[in-house]
């Protein structure tokens, strides 16, 4: 491994999914649904394949139909106007959008502030770009993880180039409030920072929580790169269709990196995702209601098994504290859990620089059939 990648071994998701297969465990580790997305969207992909649409290289920025659908979605949901020709870029999943944004916008030595625990590709992408990551830790406060706004402000230095934000937040399930987002926006404007905001869980918000895109705050439209993905919204994580919306200058810059990473992503899926984005509101509310019920099944099961559960306001993850079980090391707990209980989970410590801050927390995915979640809860209770 080269020096930039030396600290990154195999991603925890690959390690834990392999462990689930090897032990025949229920995999509540890697976040992917066990039910595929809408039939009509799958049919749209099949039609595109059959009709010969997208079987050869699609245009570099993405097919016009999809760019138009992405812009229409941002307008309809959030009142954000983006020009599909100059302000939208289709990527190979949100993962490539993150990597391309960092490679294009970060100079070696620049500091990138990210919320900790952070999705693992953030750290690797900052490293590949030659940047320095500066984690600001989300800390438990009652039943949610809270961002300390003073700590965030104090983390900004003369070398800070970018705030890398994620809300709804993986792995904690926290959704930043309007006040927290407004603070982030004011800080970015005041200190003239770029903001890359990963909003892949934008539609997975529950109860009273609301997803408010950072780009809607004053002064943010021109400094924000917004990232999302069809993987989460439409339950097609294997399709790897993501996107970026930003100003023409920022999109052009991100595209300059993207063109040498993948050039384009899979054509037929782009046609299908364009159709998916036009699904009626009932699709989105149905997805939310289904996941909220699953969240409640898992959270109740984990509680009954003796773990202390944090409230999930968004995403399809529940984070739990294992200390009530007399355990304190989430990594050891997750390594042993498949043998002990036939369940796989993710230790959130791997998403921290300050690993001690995340040591007792474990993440469980609930984007699984209700009976699978119930069986997992039953096994955990038996093993506790």
Among 82, 119, 316, 361, binds ligand PMP (CB under 6 A): 119
In whole angstroms, what is the distance from residue 305 CA to residue 150 CA? 36
In whole angstroms, what is the distance from residue 298 CA to residue 14 CA? 23
Is 95 one of the binding residues for ligand PMP (CB under 6 A)?
Answer: yes
Only one of the segments 58-66, 144-152, 236-244, 289-297 lies at the binding site for ligand PMP (rule: CB under 6 A); that segment is 236-244
Task: Please report, as residue ranges, which positions from 9 to 68 form the binding site for ligand PMP (by CB under 6 A).
Answer: 31
Q: Please, which residues bridge with residue 89 across strands?
A: 244
Query: How near is the Cβ of 24 to ligand PMP at its closest, in Å?
Result: 24
Is 231 one of the binding residues for ligand PMP (CB under 6 A)?
Answer: yes
Other beta carbons within 10 Å of 94: 25
Task: Please name the helix (run of DSSP H) or strand (run of DSSP E) that holds residue 189, with its range, or none.
Answer: helix 178-190
Give the one entry of ligand PMP, ligand GLN, none that residue 301 binds, where binding means its C-beta sits below a cut-off of 5 to 8 angstroms depending on kind: none
**8 A C-beta contact, residue 42 and residue 36:** yes
Query: How near is the Cβ of 92 to ligand PMP at its closest, in Å?
Result: 7
Query: How near is the Cβ of 199 to ligand PMP at its closest, in Å?
Result: 9
**8 A C-beta contact, residue 368 and residue 30:** no
In whole angstroms, what is the distance from residue 300 CA to residue 140 CA? 19
Give the one entry of ligand GLN, ligand PMP, none that residue 198 binds, where binding means its C-beta sits below a cut-off of 5 to 8 angstroms depending on kind: ligand PMP
In whole angstroms, what is the distance from residue 97 CA to residue 68 CA? 18
Is 242 one of the binding residues for ligand PMP (CB under 6 A)?
Answer: yes
String marking each residue 186-215 x if it binds ligand PMP according to CB under 6 A: ------------x-x---------------
Walk across the sheet containing 308-309 and list its strands: 308-309, 317-321, 361-365, 346-347
Q: If 0-12 CB within 10 Å is exposed, 13-18 middle and 19+ buried, where does residue 280 land? A: exposed
Give the one entry of ligand PMP, ligand GLN, none that residue 229 binds, where binding means its C-beta sits below a cut-off of 5 to 8 angstroms depending on kind: ligand PMP
Is 173 one of the binding residues for ligand PMP (CB under 6 A)?
Answer: no
Q: Which of 180, 224, 179 is nearest to 199 (CA)?
A: 224
Query: How near is the Cβ of 331 to ligand PMP at its closest, in Å?
Result: 20
Where do contacts with ligand GLN occur on this chain (CB under 6 A)?
Answer: 11, 13, 30-31, 170
Strand intervals (E) in 95-241: 111-116, 132-141, 144-147, 160-166, 194-198, 224-229
Query: How near is the Cβ of 31 to ligand GLN at its closest, in Å?
Result: 3
Is 233 one of the binding residues for ligand PMP (CB under 6 A)?
Answer: no
Residues of the shown chain interacting with ligand PMP in the complex, contacts defined by CB under 6 A: 31, 93-95, 119, 166, 170, 198, 200, 229, 231, 237, 240, 242
């Amino acid at each position: 491994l080269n020096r930039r990648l030396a600290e990154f071994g195999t991603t925890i998701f690959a390690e834990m999914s392999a462990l689930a297969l090897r032990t025949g465990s229920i995999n509540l580790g890697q976040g992917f649904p066990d039910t595929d997305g809408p039939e009509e969207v799958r049919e749209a992909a099949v039609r595109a394949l059959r009709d010969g649409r997208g079987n050869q290289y699609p245009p570099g920025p993405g097919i016009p139909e999809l760019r138009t659908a992405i812009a229409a979605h941002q307008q309809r949901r959030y009142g954000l106007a983006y020009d599909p020709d100059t302000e939208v870029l289709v990527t190979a999943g949100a993962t490539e959008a993150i990597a391309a944004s960092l490679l294009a916008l970060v100079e070696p030595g620049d500091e990138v502030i990210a919320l900790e625990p952070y999705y693992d590709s953030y750290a690797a992408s900052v490293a590949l770009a030659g940047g320095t990551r500066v984690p600001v830790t989300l800390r438990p406060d009652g039943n949610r993880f809270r961002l300390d706004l003073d700590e965030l402000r104090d983390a900004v230095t003369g070398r800070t180039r970018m705030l890398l934000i994620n809300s709804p937040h993986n792995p904690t399930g926290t959704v930043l409030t309007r006040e927290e987002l407004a603070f982030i926006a004011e800080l970015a404007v005041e200190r003239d920072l770029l903001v890359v905001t990963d909003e892949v869980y934008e539609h997975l918000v529950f109860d009273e929580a609301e997803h408010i895109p950072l780009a809607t705050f004053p002064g943010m439209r021109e400094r924000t790169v917004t990232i999302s993905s069809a993987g989460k919204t439409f339950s097609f994580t294997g399709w790897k269709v993501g996107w970026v919306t930003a100003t023409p200058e920022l999109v052009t810059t991100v595209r300059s990196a993207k063109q040498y990473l993948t050039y384009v992503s899979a054509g037929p899926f782009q046609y299908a995702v364009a159709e998916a984005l036009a699904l009626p509101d009932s699709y989105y509310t149905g997805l939310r209601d289904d996941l909220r019920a699953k969240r409640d099944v898992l959270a109740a099961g984990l509680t009954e098994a003796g773990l202390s559960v944090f409230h999930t306001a968004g995403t399809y993850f529940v984070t739990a504290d294992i200390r009530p079980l007399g355990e304190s090391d989430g990594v050891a707990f997750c390594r042993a859990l498949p043998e002990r209980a036939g369940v796989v989970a993710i230790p959130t410590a791997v998403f921290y620089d300050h690993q001690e801050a995340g040591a007792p927390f474990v993440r469980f995915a609930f984007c699984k059939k209700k009976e699978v979640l119930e069986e997992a809860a039953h096994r955990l209770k038996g093993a506790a």
